[in-house]
Amino acid sequence: MAAPVSLQVEFGGGAELLFDGVKKHQVTLPCQPEPWDIRNLLKWIKQNLLKERPELFMQGDSVRPGILVLINDADWELMGELDYKLQDQDNVLFISTLHGG
């Protein structure tokens, strides 16, 4: 049973528009049997934070291609992507590259 995890989740580059325009969210993930990873976090975000048009944020069980994910300011591609195990106080930033330009 993993302990609750507190995170700062941020959205930018236009992704915040899907979250009522709110860029920074302080969240606490509840206890659950398995450790929290990004895959679970995305599910949780979809159920708890996402306000509209989930297809613009998610594709399958991952983020939509074109949305960058930074974990503690590092590219998630360096961190195991969906399998990254979240630590307490992690900062997860989603930046859309799909907007504007």
Partner 1 sequence: MPAPRCALCARPAALRRPKTGQALCRRCFVAAFEEETHRAIVAGGLFRRGDAVAVAASGGKDSSVLAHLLGRLDRRHRYGLRLVLLSVDEGIAGYRDASLGAVRRSRGALPLLVLSYEELYGWSMDRVARRLGPASHCTFCGVFRRQALDRGARLLGVDKIATGHNADDIAETVLMNFLRGDVARLRRAAAEATGAATEATRTTTKATGTATEVTGRTATSKEDLGKVSEATGTVGTATEATTRVSEATRSHTKATTSPLETTDSAEATTSSVQATRSPTEATRNPVEATRSSTEATGSTTKASRSPMETTNSTVATKNPMEATKNPMEATRSSTEATRSPTETTKFTEPPKSPTEATRSPTEDTRSPAKVPRVPRPPASPAAAPWPAVPRCKPLRHAYEKEIVLYAYFEGLDYVSTECLYAPHAYRGHARALLKDLEAARASSVAALGHSGRRLAVGAHVATKALGACARCGYAASQPLCKACVLLASLNRGLPRLGLGKRALGLAGGAGGHGASDLGGDGHVGGDHGVGGDVGGGRGAGGHGACSHGACGHDVNGHEDDSSWVGSHGASDRGAGGHGTGGHGACCRGAGGRGASDHGAGGCGASGHGAGGHGASEHWTDTPRAGGHGACCHRAGGHGAGDHGAGGHGACCHGAGGHGAGGHGAGGHGPCCHRAGDHGAGDHGGGDHGAGGHGAGDHGPCCHRVGDHGGGDDGAGDHGAGGHGAGGHGAGDHGAGGHGACGGPGASRGGEEEAVEVEVVGRGGRVQRRRVLGLGRARGALNIWDF
Using CB under 8 A, which of 12, 27, 49, 54 touches partner 1? Answer: 12
User: What order of strands is seen across the sheet that includes strand 24-29?
Assistant: 24-29, 5-12, 90-96, 67-71, 74-75
- How far apart CA 82 and CA 37 sit, in angstroms, is 7
**Binding piece for partner 1, criterion CB under 8 A, among 1-9, 27-35, 40-48, 78-86:** 78-86
Q: Which is nearer to partner 1, 20 or 75 (CB)?
A: 75
Q: Verify binding: residue 101, partner 1, rule CB under 8 A.
A: yes
Q: Which is nearer to partner 1, 47 or 87 (CB)?
A: 87
Q: Which is nearer to partner 1, 29 or 93 (CB)?
A: 93
**43 and 61 in contact (C-beta within 8 Å)?**
yes
- How far apart CA 76 and CA 47 sit, in angstroms, is 22
Q: Verify binding: residue 84, partner 1, rule CB under 8 A.
A: yes
Contacts with 66 (C-beta within 8 Å, 6 or more apart), sequence order: 96, 97, 98
**Binding piece for partner 1, criterion CB under 8 A, among 1-9, 27-35, 41-49, 62-70:** 62-70
3-class secondary structure, 27 = strand
Q: Which is nearer to partner 1, 20 or 30 (CB)?
A: 20
